[in-house]
Chains A and B, each alone.
Chain A
Amino acid sequence: DSGVTQTPKHLITATGQRVTLRCSPRSGDLSVYWYQQSLDQGLQFLIQYYNGEERAKGNILERFSAQQFPDLHSELNLSSLELGDSALYFCASSGSGTGGTGEQFFGPGTRLTVL
């Protein structure tokens, strides 16, 4: 158990809909990362938050947004869903400060299916 929790585990929805994925990082970790894993694109970094502030942005679509709350949990919002958004979405967290080792701890993922 990595200590990172993600809900829900599975999500089935229709095109055009909006969903919210939730992540709670390991206790004490200030950085949260969101990754998308699909068969054709592999594991892609979407966005990083550090202590409530956006730190880095990757291949995140404009239809997607995220935030990190004061209690450090994070939510990834996906809107106007398309079939191609079907994927595994992972949240990861890492230790605070630049002294962190860089090792990331991954949650079990949310499997999103868009029909």
Chain B
Amino acid sequence: SQQGEEDPQALSIQEGENATMNCSYKTSINNLQWYRQNSGRGLVHLILIRSNEREKHSGRLRVTLDTSKKSSSLLITASRAADTASYFCATAPYSGNTPLVFGKGTRLSVIA
């Protein structure tokens, strides 16, 4: 079953602009992760934020987590055409090696 709902479902921006994607989830979590998927290919882990963290940065990525609202956002700054992909949030109920529950994803198109 889907845990997360990403918003928007699709996003189209110009190169250089910032892209913000949101994710909401339903149950308590240990951590939330964001993954990227290029068309029809495997998922690539981007960033993990734990339930006791509020914000995390990695390069041009910034993730926030609000456990009281059960929501997270992924910000990609200064986007590039190569950022064009689908982005998924995934939640883990426990720490360690546990199955992930994925949202439906946001399709990001960055136009050069």
Contacts and interface: CB of A to CB of B under 8 A. Distances in A.
Interface of A: 2, 4, 30-31, 33, 35, 42-45, 48, 50, 55-56, 58-59, 88, 90, 92, 94-109, 111
Contact of B100 (A88, A104, A109, A111): A104
A17 to B, nearest CB: 23
Interface string B77-109: 000000000001000100111111111110000
Interface residues of B, number: 26
A105 B95 CA distance: 16
Nearest to A1: B42
Contacts of B101: 45
Given A88-B40, A90-B43, A56 B104 contact: no
B41 interface: yes
Contact of A103 (B41, B45, B88, B102): B45
Interface of B: 1-2, 30-31, 33, 35, 40-45, 48, 88, 92, 95-105
A111 B1 CA distance: 21
19 contacts: A2-B42, A2-B44, A30-B97, A33-B100, A42-B2, A45-B99, A45-B100, A48-B98, A50-B97, A55-B97, A97-B96, A99-B96, A100-B96, A101-B48, A103-B45, A104-B33, A108-B42, A109-B41, A109-B42
